[in-house]
């Protein structure tokens, strides 16, 4: 899973990360997101809200990390929802997540 967090940091430096629930929902509505991270320790209301929007817009979600892990990866504090706007980064993160979960 460390590979996914490393890719998340790279995506942040490349300017391909959207941070925050409202920002992620706004980007979903204009069809610019390819992957969403929701922290495991997010509130149930936040998880439900993002899952419904992601289902509607057919965007994959990863819920394998805590908010501390996500925040450390992108160099900020207390982030619960992160969106990835680049299809290449999203595909690489999904592939690495599937490999680890499949072991």
What are the structural domains, with CATH classification, of the chain?
A: 2-102 (3.30.1330.30)
Please state the length of the chain: 103
Residue with tokens 């495991």: 40
Exposure b/e, 52-89, CB count within 10 A at least 16 = b: ebbeeeebebbebbebebbbbbbeeeebbbbbbbbeeb
Per-residue pLDDT in tens (0 to 9) along the chain, 103 residues:
589 999 999 999 999 999 999 999 999 988 789 999 999 999 999 999 999 999 999 999 999 899 999 999 999 888 999 999 999 999 999 988 765 444 3
Q: Which tokens sit at 92? A: 């690489």
């Amino acid at each position: 899973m460390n590979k996914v967090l490393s890719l998340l940091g790279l995506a942040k430096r490349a300017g391909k990360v959207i941070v925050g629930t409202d920002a992620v929902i706004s980007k979903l509505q204009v069809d610019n997101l390819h992957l969403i991270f929701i922290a495991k320790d997010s509130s149930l209301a936040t998880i439900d809200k993002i899952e419904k929007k992601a289902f509607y817009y057919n965007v994959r979600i990863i819920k394998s990390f805590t908010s501390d892990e996500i925040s450390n990866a992108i160099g900020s504090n207390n982030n619960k929802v992160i969106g990835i706007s680049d299809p290449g980064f999203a595909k690489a993160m999904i592939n690495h997540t599937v490999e680890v979960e499949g072991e």
